[in-house]
Chain A
Amino acid sequence: MSTLTSTANEAARRVEAQDIRNRWLLSAPALLIIALAAIGPLAIVFVYSFLMPGSYGDVVWTFSPDAWIAVLLEKDIFDGTWSIADAHLSIFWRSVWLSLLTTVTTLLLGFPTAYFIATRPERTREIWLFLITIPFWTNLLIRTFAIQELIRNEGMINTLLMKAGLISAPIQMMYTDFAILTGMTYVFFPLMVLPLYASLEKVDFRLVEAGYDLYASRWRVLKRIILPLVKPGVIAGSILVFIPSLGSYVTPRMLGGGSKMMLGNLIELQFGQGRNWPLGASLSMALLAIVMVALMLQVRFAGRQGGNAHG
């Protein structure tokens, strides 16, 4: 190599190093704000989960694994023996179960809806898409409130049914698992439809035609051609619905009340009346762990599809 090209290389390398340094400087404020006001404090929660609760909230700085044990077990106050914490377990169970149900319901309703939008002519497609986007950006609290107004005892559904003489006393829908499921399905529905649509829009319908030419039934075409093609969208939508469902706080608080709590409400309770910050911290970490597992499963499943996981 001549000295001339090596100095040129040297100069190019220096320019590039400078470019990368500038790029780090330019992204520093965003990274710093996220580190300080969103992600960094998670480390404190981790530390807090190994401390003792203070008597008026906050913590006492003594190491203790009690908060982690209390996630699943409870100590008898009289004889000090440990047993399974039924209350916590049932809340964990409800959170996971209702979130899975919400994911399945939104998928079953969202798939035909996304398919319908994707097969509209170009011009009307934009309108349907817009109609899905509006609730997506509308306040979740207001949408939950709208559901609450419909299903409460003195709400519209019960009032109409009673006026029609179909029932004599209001059907209790509020403060049940059904209410939470309805609310979560309602508020997270657009999160399922949008990624499904993104996948369905790219489906090459010549493949579908080929299927029909080979005498496949509609159902078979759907199962063997369309569904495998939109699998990335199904996975993305399921994750987008499952994660916020699992961490739900507003919807179960408004529709489930104090008796039908989910994890988010149990965590809040520890920082409020419960005055057990370490337990709240360990429950938060447990929730985060479940979310991480779900995300890793997504990467794993989507990974088999090849490169277009987010297509």
Chain B
Amino acid sequence: MADPTETFDVRRQAGFPTVAVVCFFLLYLPIAALVVFSFNDGTSIATWEGLSLRWFAEAWNNDKVVEASIRSVQIAACAALIATVVATMAALATTRTRNYRGLDAKYAFINMPLMVPEIVVAVALLIFFSRIKMATGYSGLGYLVAAHTAFCIPFAYLPIRARLESMDLSLETAAADLYATPLRAFRRVTLPLLWPGILAGLMLAFVISLDDVVITEFVKSGGQDTLPTYMLGQLRRVVTPEMNAISTVFLLLSIAIVTAFFFISRKKD
């Protein structure tokens, strides 16, 4: 490269790297401290008393924790699956077309759950679902799955739509020219190409559902705690490193999913 100012870096801004490195450090310090103290032998969350796995065992033997974890995963799996299927359909319906009437409105509507403050949606669902509960007598996990599905859709939609927009229609046209039925062309051409986007959407939706606190807190009936709402309830009291142990496992799961997401969505083909 012909750079006339080789010794003078035009990109440099004094102090910026220092601020950035400090920010990264501060971003990870609290999480690191939390993870370290989950291995503490004592009951303190600030004084180190030796290495031990006792709090992991404690959490593992705590029926409430296990129950809430299973419920969290069940809800997240259902919600993410439904959200991904309908988001894929919606993405197919809103990409690779000329602007038809209502297209912009569809975009806006699908992304609306991202704009409205979560607490407002939570309150709205509390009122709406309590009416339905009274009318039908049903008080199962369906309400939580429905609520989670709704706010997961925009997250699942984003990577799927991005993937679709990077695919041109020539392959599908070629398939049609070779007398493939639309369904066959979809199954053999579109779907395999779209697959990384769908997988990325599914993972995002799963993590988002797993992390939710506010909407779940308002929508759940008695005895329907998920892991985050259980933790929120516990954190009001005096906490032991058991909370750290649960958090550590939760963190590891999230990091594993995000890492997988990162590699899937980075792959160009």
Interface residues of A (CB under 8 A from B): 19-20, 22-27, 29-31, 33-42, 44-45, 48, 58, 109-110, 112-113, 115-117, 119, 126, 128, 130-135, 137-143, 145-150, 154-156, 158-159, 186, 189, 205, 208-209, 212, 218, 222, 243-244, 246-247, 249-250, 253-254, 263-264, 267-268, 271, 277, 280-281, 284-285, 287-288, 291, 295
Bound-state CA distance A117–B24 (Å) is 11
**B45, A113: Cβ atoms under 8 Å?**
no
- Residues from chain A with a CB closer than 8 A to the CB of B171 are none
The interface size of chain B toward A, counting residues with CB under 8 Å, comes to 92
Expressed in whole angstroms, the Cα–Cα distance for A24 and B100 within the complex equals: 11
Given the known inter-chain contacts A141-B228, A218-B13, please indicate yes or no for A288 contacting B116, CB distance below 8 A: yes
Chain A hits for B149, CB < 8 A = 33, 37
28 CB < 8 A contacts A-B: A23-B97, A30-B110, A31-B90, A33-B153, A34-B110, A38-B151, A41-B121, A41-B124, A42-B121, A112-B15, A116-B17, A116-B20, A119-B12, A130-B262, A137-B258, A139-B210, A141-B211, A142-B250, A145-B34, A148-B235, A149-B34, A149-B37, A218-B12, A244-B118, A247-B117, A249-B214, A284-B120, A287-B119
CB within 8 Å for A27 and B89 given contacts A38-B121, A271-B126: yes
The SS class assigned to the B binding surface is: helix
Max chain B CB contacts within 10 Å: which of A155, A218, A247? A247
Which residues of B sit under 8 angstroms from A208, Cβ to Cβ?
10-11
How far in angstroms is the closest Cβ of chain B from A169?
A: 15
Which one of B25-33, B58-66, B172-180 is at the A interface?
Answer: B25-33
CB atoms of B124 and A45 under 8 A apart: yes
Q: Determine the residue in chain A with the shortest Cβ distance to B47.
A: A159
Q: Is the CB of A209 within 8 A of B232?
A: no
A189 lies within 8 A of B153 (CB): no
The winner among A27, A48, A209 for most chain B CB atoms within 10 A is: A27
**Residue among B82, B231, B247 having the largest count of chain A Cβ atoms under 10 Å:** B247
Q: Is the CB of A267 within 8 A of B90?
A: no
Q: Check if B10 sits within 8 Å of A109, measured CB to CB.
A: no
Cα distance A251–B148 in the bound complex, in angstroms: 21
Contact of B31 among A42, A132, A143, A284 (CB under 8 A): A143
Q: From A29, A34, A268, give the contact of B113 (CB < 8 A).
A: A34
Q: B185 in the interface, Cβ–Cβ < 8 Å?
A: no
Residue contact B20 to A291, C-beta cutoff 8 Å: no
Give complex CA distance A194, B151 in Å: 21
- Whether B93 lies near A45 (C-beta < 8 A) is no
Nearest B residue (CB) for A209: B10
Q: Is B8 an interface residue (CB 8 A)?
A: yes
Distance of A212 Cα from B87 Cα, bound (Å)? 48
